[in-house]
Structure 1
Amino acid sequence: MTDIKPPVPAISLKDFESRKDEITKELLEAAETAGFFTLVDHGISIEEINDQFALSREYFNLPHEVKAKIPHDIRNNNGWEYKSQIRPSTGQADQKESFWLQHDSKWPSDEDLPNFRAGTKKFMSKCEGISEKILACFSVGLGFSEDHLIKAMDVTAPDNLTQLRLIHYMASENAAGTWRAGNHTDVGCLTLLFQRDGEDGLEICPGRESHTDHAIGDTFTPLPAKTGPIVVNIGDMLMAWSDDRLKANFHRVRAKDTGKSPDRYSIAYFNTGRKNVVMQGPLKKYPPITCGDYFLGKTKSQFGHNFKKNQVNPTVGTV
């Protein structure tokens, strides 16, 4: 397998309404090949991104016992987890901690973390606006009505599964060349990823043909971290929903080859189809399935080892 050619494209959302057809064409081309692209002129300022990263750092700097007040719950995939996500590709836990959030999930109190909830919800709303533009373009490109995917991921609906994830990869002295996050694809439809200058590690590998394909190829290409541009990638759910036309390709976060690997912070906004929405591609390549069923199956493969530990017995209805 060869490197991505051309490189992961940067797509501008400037003058979106008047350039919608042009932007749709660019998005589809990127999604059908690399499965990754970056967004510029998207409407979130560098100051706003830095403010959210500051809130994230404040959260992760809290004592473990404070963060543990909202533990990760396998039933809804919300809450704080610490080195508990095991990738099937490695059989080992990712070397990170993260905090999963939805608008109506449990939040740290203002006493523990002042301004965190208000600031983070404002940031999530910005992500929602950008996501709706991209989802509208993909809906049209796939032959659906323009609002098809937007309605399917309506964050105001009680069965919505869309989430924000704050991520902290801890610094390590002896992790050279290892995986801070093992090879994986994303579960949902569309991921918006925010990174910070100099905190590299993300690598991508194109070439997947089916949303059930576990082959990952052998060539990973680094995608440098920059504050400002948003890295966007297709998830398994949208790959299936598009009859495998849009590619959810493998990626990982790799430690530096030499020396100390510094702390890395990232923020991911996962657009995911609502639990009760039935998904099926325009060509009906796969049988219809609810997004909730699809999501639960994928989540169990990554966090299923925690089921017994958390003393829960998840069913489709609890996602």
Structure 2
Amino acid sequence: MGRPVLEAGAPSGSKTAALNCISLADQDIKKSVSLLKQACLDSGFFYVIDHGISQEFMDEVFAQSKKFFDLPMDEKMKLLHNEKYRGYTPIFDETLDPDNQVKGDYKEGYYIGVEVPEDDPQAEKPFCGPNLWPSGDLLPGWRETMEQYQREALRVSKAVARIIALALDLDADFFDKREMLGEPIATLRLLYYEGNISTPAKGIYGAGAHSDYGLLTLLATDDVAGLQICKDKDAQPQIWEFVAPLRGAFIVNLGDMLERWSNCIFRSTLHRVMLNGQDRYSVAYFVEPNPECLVECLPSCHSEANPPKFPPVTCGAYMVKRYKETHADLSTYKEHETSKQTDGFVCNSP
């Protein structure tokens, strides 16, 4: 199944992106590589189907996510994210487009990373450490569901990364090395957009315009459209297209780290979330290499006529910088820990 998928649930009358659809069950690897390469050169977004995660299990992940966001605010705030970005992020915690947003993103989230015991030396690395988990009494089976999803999503991510490697004229197992996806920073993030209406003229967005930071992102969504992409960020005016939800598929996009690695051959595309008044849930899985991985231009992506455009950088240092630029400082919450209103927790915009 390699044809573009069109109009699969985007708002009526809106412009919808035509994205390639890649089946992980297709035995014709050359076709998959060709479809992916075309998608990465065009928009950096594509659908992945036949990934081996059952719809029944995906439905359970979404159901468990909703149970968490339905908790009273004081229960959620007990799990406020720590300095390793594990745990709950309230509305306005993240500001992805400060030039155009008045307060911040109109979304709640929950970060779950690779579980590393606190006494493990690896826990000293950026984005490594123990997770924050709701108690089993409060949300029975919640942790087990999310840990299983992490395992499944990493398997799918590695399969996609092998096709990306081939599309960049690398060995298929290039990204499987220990310092890359052998011991990755792999972050599951549950997201809830309460039923607001995005108003760009007033600086109100579900999620502000941004590109993802890492290697690649797997996004599962409910059937409420909201994700938009802008293929040419330098165009004036910018042209935004909806990415239609497709049941049973992941929406996959490339991150800035892969753009650096590929010397801008593959694109990390600007995207945002526009809300239409309906509640919207999504499950994002962000995949980055090991914190110690040195990200530098790939041998197949530079030449004398096309030298490397970016200096080498370690993954950990790069990710810490990007997170600090977009998230509220934790001191914000300490200063306002008693500030509540009937509609929930109130915090200053970062």
- For normalisation by structure 1, the TM-score amounts to 0.84
Provide the C-alpha distance between the structure 2 equivalents of 1:224 and 1:26, rounded to a whole number of angstroms: 18
Larger Rg: 2
* Pair 1:90 & 2:100 matched: yes
Provide the C-alpha distance between the structure 1 equivalents of 2:99 and 2:215, rounded to a whole number of angstroms: 21
Match of 2:80 among 71, 75, 90: 71
* Pair 1:171 & 2:191 matched: no
* Pair 1:237 & 2:257 matched: yes
> SS where residue 195 of structure 2 aligns?
coil
> SS where residue 224 of structure 1 aligns?
coil
> SS where residue 154 of structure 1 aligns?
helix
State the one-letter code of the partner of 1:120: M
Unaligned runs of 5+ in 1: 209-213, 312-319
- For 1:50-74, what per-residue CA distance to the aligned partner results, in whole angstroms no more than 9, with x for missing partners? 111001001111122222222112x
> SS where residue 89 of structure 2 aligns?
strand
Provide the C-alpha distance between the structure 2 equivalents of 1:102 and 1:32, rounded to a whole number of angstroms: 30
Residue 273 of structure 1 corresponds to 289
Match of 1:81 among 81, 85, 89: 89
Deviation at 1:218, TM superposition (A): 0.7
Residue 219 of structure 1 corresponds to 239
* Pair 1:43 & 2:52 matched: yes
Deviation at 1:20, TM superposition (A): 2.1
Residue 271 of structure 2 corresponds to 251
Match of 2:332 among 289, 306, 309: 309
Provide the C-alpha distance between the structure 2 equivalents of 1:53 and 1:41, rounded to a whole number of angstroms: 19
State the one-letter code of the partner of 2:60: D
Query: Is residue 4–residue 34 contact of structure 1 (8 Å, CA) maintained in 2?
Result: no
Provide the C-alpha distance between the structure 2 equivalents of 1:48 and 1:241, rounded to a whole number of angstroms: 34
Larger mean CA deviation between 183-192 and 142-151 belongs to 142-151
- CA separation of 1:289 and 1:128: change in aligned 2, threshold 3 A: same
Residue 278 of structure 2 corresponds to 262
* Pair 1:110 & 2:136 matched: yes
Match of 2:68 among 38, 59, 69: 59
Deviation at 1:194, TM superposition (A): 0.4
- For normalisation by structure 2, the TM-score amounts to 0.77
Residue 348 of structure 2 corresponds to none
Query: Is residue 259–residue 266 contact of structure 2 (8 Å, CA) maintained in 1?
Result: yes
State the one-letter code of the partner of 1:64: M
- For 1:100-127, what per-residue CA distance to the aligned partner results, in whole angstroms no more than 9, with x for missing partners? 1013122222112110111111111111
Provide the C-alpha distance between the structure 1 equivalents of 2:53 and 2:146, rounded to a whole number of angstroms: 13
> SS where residue 332 of structure 2 aligns?
coil
Deviation at 1:37, TM superposition (A): 0.4
Q: State the number of aligned residues.
A: 291
* Pair 1:24 & 2:33 matched: yes
Query: Is residue 28–residue 141 contact of structure 1 (8 Å, CA) maintained in 2?
Result: yes
Deviation at 1:99, TM superposition (A): 0.1
Residue 314 of structure 1 corresponds to none
- CA separation of 1:217 and 1:112: change in aligned 2, threshold 3 A: farther
> SS where residue 145 of structure 1 aligns?
coil
- For 1:200-257, what per-residue CA distance to the aligned partner results, in whole angstroms no more than 9, with x for missing partners? 111111125xxxxx8786100011223211100011111111111111111111122x
Provide the C-alpha distance between the structure 1 equivalents of 2:180 and 2:250, rounded to a whole number of angstroms: 20
Query: Is residue 215–residue 256 contact of structure 2 (8 Å, CA) maintained in 1?
Result: yes
Provide the C-alpha distance between the structure 1 equivalents of 2:53 and 2:236, rounded to a whole number of angstroms: 33
Query: Is residue 114–residue 186 contact of structure 2 (8 Å, CA) maintained in 1?
Result: no
State the one-letter code of the partner of 2:186: T
State the one-letter code of the partner of 2:136: D
Match of 1:125 among 144, 151, 155: 151
* Pair 1:228 & 2:248 matched: yes
- CA separation of 1:227 and 1:182: change in aligned 2, threshold 3 A: same
- For 1:31-87, what per-residue CA distance to the aligned partner results, in whole angstroms no more than 9, with x for missing partners? 1111100112221222121111001001111122222222112x3222101121012
